Amino acid sequence: MTDVSTTDEPTTPKFSELNLHPLVLKAVEAQGYETPTPIQAATIPALTDGRDVIGLAQTGTGKTAAFALPALSHLAEAGRANDGPFALVLTPTRELAIQVAEAFTSYATNLDDFSVLPIYGGQSYGPQLAGLKRGAQVVVGTPGRVIDHLKKGSLKLGSLQHLILDEADEMLKMGFAEDIEEIFSQSGDSRQVALFSATMPTSIHRLTGKYLNNPEEVRVASKSQTGANIRQRYFMVQHSHKLDALTRILEVEEYEGIIMFVRTKQATEELAEKLRARGFKASAINGDIPQQARERTIDMLREGKIDILVATDVAARGLDVERISLVVNYDIPHDTESYVHRIGRTGRAGRSGEAILFVTPREQRLLGSIERATKQKVEPLTMPSVEQLTNTRVEKFTKRIDDVLATTDLTELSAVIEGYELSRDVPAATVAAALASLVLESNSLKAEPMPEPARGKPVRDRDGGRDGGRKERGPRQRDENMTTYRLAVGRNERLQPGAVVGAIANEGGITSKQIGHIDIRSNHTLVDLPKDLDPSVLRKLSHTEIQGRPIDIRPDSGRPGRPFKKRNFDKQPGDDRNFRGDRRGGKKFGGGGRGGSDRPRDRY
């Protein structure tokens, strides 16, 4: 390996200096990005020059743009591939595959007829086959499903110019080494390789030594730190419920100046408008706002004429307003440096500050990256209760009445109300309630429960990082809502919890949150699943294999394991076929039809 470089501090070049294609650069600038992160600044030049690259950096440091922008620049220059995708990105999970595909789409907005296709286990083959047939220029997939399509002949790598491995160490930990080597062998010798990993284990060394051509290795050490006087909290929320959650927090908790960060210029205007509609004094700043107007808006925040500033990262650079006591990450940043810079807008000069981070279920991995990079825990935020919110609204409305009584001459209006009360024979309290309804514009003071997704933190391993669905081992804690099932695979097959979660989630069509305690023993595994599990899920799982072994799922009886025998979950009346029957027709956890495979399946 050559040209090993270590980057400890953010670099100063702009994206416009990194030799990106003008159409790609235009999309980057339209999103408000000007300065690349360290991993981007170090790897993009090498990739645009056509070199193979090994990038060693933690998740959340901006790696997606580091490989997406050079690939799209080459695509813009070369035009559409004739046979198969121009670029293939391998990811360990389907969530990451979706995120990477979305990032490619955002950076390719100015490219004609661009198409990107995420392919992963647990999704029907139909849409994936149709997308491949139409000719996706970029395919983002998990190794297991990519291999399935290669075997079916629906994915061809003859024209592949870029092969990218994102979180390579995670994929190897999950047992995808053979799949990855097979993909390398089918991708030809002319493709450029970009491999990104948080660590550099021996398995990565073997892979890069065998398949990469004189790669440049870039190591990015993160030294991100946040102020100890800043209280950091996060709230797990669906994107569609963010505004409701934000409103409830601001109704109950008192802050002075607030700055809210979103990803795009358009989002700044939209969020500011929605906040104003809800009675907040809010304004937006972004790259499209002239400097004079930007300065005027910041002065209004400083003087208390507005309380909330909605901004992009670029527009807020250099902003220092003492009033800012809260920073809201309305959209979670994709790199930890941005997070540190954002929350650094509060808690200055020894003052205390608050930072709130909204995290959608698909973004849990980014939360873990932020905690590891900052070496600080982000506390879960408890949403105000319905009772607390209702009481706060009543108190604020009561204070409005007190203020009017203390400052306004009501003699004339009192006579009007008294006349109304006598002529209509309506009690004064009822008249007052009707007037209050007019003031409130028929909005109720009583709060309603807010729909909330599962709010638990992502499962973490011993080092504080995510582990892809690992369940803690140890004494089993029985849950009356769960049933324990026995799988006919265990430590003898080197089974890992992630593979169990991936198999059940992908093939059963359920979420990892529905999977309870996992206890891996020498020749079998016990796993807790919901009591009310649909029988169709068990029928699907009865066809499943892990690492080439049928899992033979069945309710656990507490007795020692018996010799392997398939249970016929989906045998219909009059169907005399033995369930074990012909393995060629069974759906495998490592394959997609005839022959199958003994590899692990894509993790949920």
What is the pLDDT at residue 317?
Answer: 65
**Across 398-418, average pLDDT:** 87
482-585: in CATH 3.30.70.330 = yes
Nearest to 516 by CA among 488, 546, 482, 542: 482
* Res. 427: pLDDT tops 70: yes
Give 582's pLDDT tier (boundaries 50, 70, 90): very low
Q: Which CATH superfamily is domain 2-220 in?
A: P-loop containing nucleotide triphosphate hydrolases (3.40.50.300)
For the segment 197-213, what is each residue's pLDDT rounded down to a tens digit?
887 888 888 899 999 99
Reported as a single tens digit per residue, the pLDDT across 137-163 is 999 999 999 999 999 999 999 889 999
Domain ranges of the chain: 2-220, 230-380, 386-439, 482-585
Q: Residue 336: CA atoms inside 13 Å, Cβ hemisphere, count?
A: 27
Which segments of 31-122 does DSSP mark as H helices, in order?
38-48, 63-78, 94-107
Q: Comparing 29-38, 231-240, 295-304, which segment has the lowest mean pLDDT?
A: 29-38
Which strand ranges, in their side-by-side order, compose the sheet holding 518-520?
A: 518-520, 525-530, 482-487, 554-555
The answer to whether 24 and 239 are in contact (CB under 8 A) is: no
Which homologous superfamily is 230-380 in? P-loop containing nucleotide triphosphate hydrolases (3.40.50.300)
Q: What is the mean pLDDT of residues 280-304?
A: 87
Domains 2-220 and 482-585 share a fold: no
- Mean pLDDT for 258-285 is 91
State pLDDT tens for residues 55-65: 988 666 788 99
The identity of residue 51, as a single letter, is: R
d(CA 122, CA 250): 39
